[in-house]
Structure formats: structure tokens, C-alpha cells
């Protein structure tokens, strides 16, 4: 049996090349791009907008990277798959049938396809026939408790020769709340031979290993937990090796944020990239003394040099006061609700 894989799950607006690169440095076994709209790509002229091209960026250290394609028109999905294949920069194509966002399902895409299994299968077959790349599928258990369509769609994926499936253990109706049904995932894992990766509800490295054991999956895809702890992949490796998980001190957190901003500026306008770093600072700095004030000051910064200088000065203050640890009482219980 192959070693389990621990993957970074795609999250729209979050898992750009810069963030994926950080996760790969921490040991992620694979990742998927943000959503690529099949209508936009299929109809695009030769010169695509810079904003659209940002989603297609791949950094040097990214291995096992799939392009995430979303849509519900088989012909357009096929044309987009052909274009992605011709780019020669991705290792696979991943079809999104799991996104629960209202704007996505409102146009018949993402998890809306779970209500129309016939169309879902036509989309899957069209993409598979249009590319020489491996094809993957990401989906949820179903639309709601009355429409659990994942078992049949996973079998169709196997019949079509898909490489793997990532299965979120909730319905669209649940979105990101409620119990993740590990038993339902396990039943599907046992019903097919192709690799099934479990997704949903992981909050830390220990959770990921428990989830793996409960589902019998080929691995675990981790989404929102990685936003607050990109080192979760390293933590998993340590636990599997019998080591204790080490605390992530101020030096590591702040160095990570500085590097992430520099990477983001490689594929986004500097002002946009630095402003976007505010949310990452809001996730990674809490727990450090004085973090709240620093996050507020960062809200007025939109230049990489000023951002870097502020964080470096903050770290120097913490080092001088010998206060680089993370304090649980200063760490809010943040809830992330993102695609």
C-alpha cells in the first residue's frame, strides 16, 4: 500500500501560487489551483487579462499541482481542458463539483451538479476525452440528506479512468458546519479501487491522522486549517514519525509572513498583494504579545518595504523582551468560512 498523501485543498481567493509554495515548503504532497472558470477560459482570446493569468501561475517548488476547472457545460469544459493541457504547466486537471458558494451554485456549477448526476457525468466524460492529463474530481457527499449522489459519481469517475477523487464529508446544505461523515467516506473508499482523499473538518495535524484512520482514505486534503497553520503538513510528518509537534514561535511566523508577501508580489501588483497579507497576518500573528496592535498598523500599509520593516521591527521587540512564544489566552478561536 502506498504512503498516504496530505494535500492542500483549493480555496478560492486563498490558495494562490504564493501560499501554495509556502505549504509545499512545509511538506504538502500536492495542491490544486484556485477555480478556473470554464466559460472564461473556453471563450478567452489569445491574450488573457493579468487577473485571469494570476490563477494560472505556478512556482518552481510546486509538485503534483492540478488545475481546478469549474463549469457545467460539457463542451466548454472540454475546450477549457484542451487549453489547460496545451499550456504544459499542470500535472492534472481537477473538476470542481464541491464548491457550495451561492454565486457558484446559482449558475449551476460546483455542488449544484450533485443535483444533476447525468449532467455531472457528461461533464466528467467530456473533460476526460479532451485531455491527455490525469483527471481528478472533487465533490461533496451530495446536495442534502435527500440527494446523496457521491457514491454513484465516484463509481462513474472510476469507470471513466479518473486518477483520484477528493471527497468532502458534508453535503452542500451543511456547507462548513455540522458533522463530517467519516463513515460515509469510508463506505465509498471501500466501494472503489481508485484513490479517494478525505476532506473536511480537519483543525490540526492530529485531526488529519484520526480522519485518515477513520475513513481508510488514500490521504487527506486540508483546506481552512492550513490558512492558520501552513506548517500543518510538517506537523503531520512529525507525528507520523513519532515526534512531538513543536510550537511555532514568533521568528518562524513572522519570517513566513515576510516571505509570503514577497512571493505574492511576484504574481500580483504590489499594493494588492500587500493589502491581501492583512488577512494572513490576522490568522498567523494572534497569540503573540502585541499582535493586535501590529495587525491594526498593517491595515494602513500597502508597500512591501513598509510591510517588511514593520514586521521586522515587531520581531526585534519580541526578541529583545524574550517574549517570542505563543500565548493561548491571546489566541482567538477564529472561524474561517471560505470556499
Q: How many CA atoms lie within 13 A of 143 on its CB side?
A: 14
Which DSSP letter does residue 275 get? H
Strands 5-8 and 92-97: unpaired
Q: Residue 281 phi/psi, 5° resolution?
A: -65, -35
CB 88 within 8 A of CB 116: no
How many whole angstroms separate alpha carbon 3 and alpha carbon 128? 26
CB 174 within 8 A of CB 229: no
Strands 31-37 and 65-70: parallel
Beta bridge partners of 93: 67, 135
C-alpha cell at 6: 496530505
Compute the chain's Rg from CA coordinates: 20
Instruction: Please list the helix, strand and coil fractions of the chain in percent, rounded to the nearest 5, in that order.
Output: 45, 10, 40
Q: Within a 10 A sphere around the Cβ of 174, how many other Cβ atoms?
A: 19
99 catalytic, yes or no?
yes
Q: Which residue do the cell numbers 507520523 mark?
A: 240
How many whole angstroms separate alpha carbon 110 and alpha carbon 225? 22
- Which candidate, 35, 114, 108, places its Cα nearest to that of 69? 35
Which DSSP letter does residue 64 get? S
Identified catalytic residue from 23, 99, 265, 281 = 99
Q: How many CA atoms lie within 13 A of 125 on its CB side?
A: 10
Q: Give the start-end residues of each E strand in 61-178.
A: 65-70, 92-97, 135-140, 164-168
Active site residues: 99
Amino acid at each position: 500500500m502506498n504512503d498516504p498523501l496530505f494535500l492542500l485543498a483549493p480555496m478560492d481567493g486563498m490558495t494562490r501560487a504564493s501560499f501554495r509554495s509556502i505549504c509545499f515548503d512545509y511538506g504538502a504532497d500536492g495542491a490544486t489551483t484556485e477555480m478556473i472558470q470554464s466559460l472564461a477560459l473556453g471563450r478567452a482570446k489569445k491574450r488573457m487579462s493579468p487577473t485571469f493569468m494570476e490563477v494560472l501561475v505556478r512556482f518552481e517548488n510546486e509538485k503534483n499541482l492540478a488545475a481546478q476547472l469549474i463549469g457545467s457545460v460539457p463542451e466548454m469544459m472540454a475546450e477549457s481542458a484542451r487549453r489547460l493541457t496545451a499550456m504544459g504547466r499542470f500535472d492534472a486537471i481537477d473538476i470542481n463539483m464541491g464548491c457550495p458558494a451561492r454565486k457558484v451554485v446559482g449558475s449551476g456549477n460546483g455542488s449544484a451538479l450533485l443535483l444533476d448526476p447525468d449532467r455531472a457525468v457528461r461533464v466528467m466524460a467530456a473533460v476526460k476525452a479532451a485531455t491527455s492529463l490525469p483527471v481528478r474530481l472533487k465533490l461533496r457527499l451530495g446536495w442534502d440528506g435527500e440527494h446523496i449522489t457521491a457514491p454513484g459519481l465516484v463509481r462513474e469517475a472510476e469507470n471513466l479512468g479518473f486518477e483520484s477523487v477528493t471527497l468532502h464529508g458534508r453535503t452542500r446544505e451543511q456547507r462548513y458546519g455540522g458533522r463530517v461523515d467519516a463513515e460515509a467516506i469510508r463506505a465509498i473508499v471501500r466501494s472503489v479501487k481508485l484513490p479517494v482523499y478525505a476532506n473536511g473538518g480537519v483543525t490540526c495535524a492530529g485531526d488529519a491522522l484520526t480522519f485518515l484512520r477513520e475513513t481508510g482514505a488514500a490521504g487527506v486534503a486540508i483546506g481552512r486549517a492550513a490558512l492558520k497553520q501552513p506548517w500543518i503538513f510538517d506537523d503531520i510528518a512529525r507525528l507520523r514519525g513519532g515526534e512531538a509537534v513543536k510550537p511555532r514561535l514568533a521568528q518562524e511566523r513572522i519570517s513566513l509572513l515576510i516571505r509570503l508577501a514577497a512571493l505574492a508580489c511576484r504574481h500580483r501588483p504590489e499594493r494588492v498583494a500587500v493589502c491581501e497579507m492583512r488577512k494572513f497576518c490576522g490568522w498567523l500573528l494572534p497569540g503573540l504579545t502585541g499582535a493586535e496592535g501590529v495587525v491594526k498598523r498593517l491595515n494602513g500599509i500597502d508597500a512591501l518595504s513598509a510591510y517588511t520593516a514593520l514586521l521586522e521591527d515587531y520581531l526585534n521587540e519580541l526578541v529583545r523582551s524574550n517574549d517570542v512564544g505563543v500565548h493561548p489566552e491571546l489566541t482567538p478561536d477564529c472561524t474561517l468560512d471560505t470556499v
